[in-house]
Amino acid sequence: MNKQNLEYRITDLVSLWLPWIVPITTAFLIGRASFEHLGFPLPVAIAAALAIEGMGFVTTNTALMLRQYNQAKRKSDPLAPFWISTLLVAGYLLVAVMLTLALDVLPTIRAYAGSIFPFLSLTAMISAALRHDHKRRLLDIDRQKAERRTLRKQRKADVTPDTQTVTPDTRRVTLLQSLKDNPEYTPTMAAQEFNVSRATIYNDLEKLEKAGEIRRNGDGVEVV
């Protein structure tokens, strides 16, 4: 393993765990502000810190998910409301800044700080609705794809001979008529039309020849 690959692996490992470690500091500051400035009991302050940081994770993840969907979707697929998820991320940032900084700088806003929690409840409900709506959107797309596949199969079945109901005698009669109608009709064309092997067609030609219906020569098949 060369140095570049080692650095990449280390960076990849750090990037895997860092998003789960960094929010601890913000959660601590939010919990401290809830305890000291808002007068929350310690268990409630801890719960508030975890809830707010959890909302930050959910809203950011939802926004990135909808953005990725909009970038990769087909033109016929519905557009996801990425702008709503972006507003929710902005709302989380506003709440986090207010609790970690603004209350220390402007203690007078303490009386209004409690109003952020109904806003957080609304944010949580909207995030849940966005994710549920997106799941339904993906299910609808999968259902439409399945319906189109079924329709294509049905259309293909409409134009493909049903070889399960064609008996060998019927096939040979149809083969003989095709040879009469088209002197250029080849065993390969017949095999594709009846969805059988070329060996089966050659066997049919042999039986037709024995019956005196055709005569095979070096140039092809001649109908008697």
Q: What is the pLDDT of residues 81-131, one digit of tens each?
A: 999 999 999 989 988 888 888 777 777 777 777 778 888 888 889 999 999
pTM above 0.75, yes or no: no
Number of CB atoms found within 10 A of residue 82's CB: 19
CB 222 within 8 A of CB 215: yes
pLDDT single digits (tens) 168-205: 888 888 888 888 877 778 888 888 888 888 888 889 88
77 Cβ neighbours under 8 A, 6+ residues apart:
141
With cut-offs at 50, 70 and 90, classify the pLDDT of residue 163: very low
Q: What does the alpha-carbon distance between residue 34 and residue 18 come to, in Å, rounded to a whole number?
A: 25
Q: What does the alpha-carbon distance between residue 80 and residue 82 come to, in Å, rounded to a whole number?
A: 6
Give the chain's length: 224
Domain 168-223 CATH assignment equals 1.20.120.420:
no
Find the radius of gyration of the CA atoms of the chain. 36
Residue ranges, CATH 1.10.10.10, the chain: 168-223
Q: What does the alpha-carbon distance between residue 165 and residue 28 come to, in Å, rounded to a whole number?
A: 75
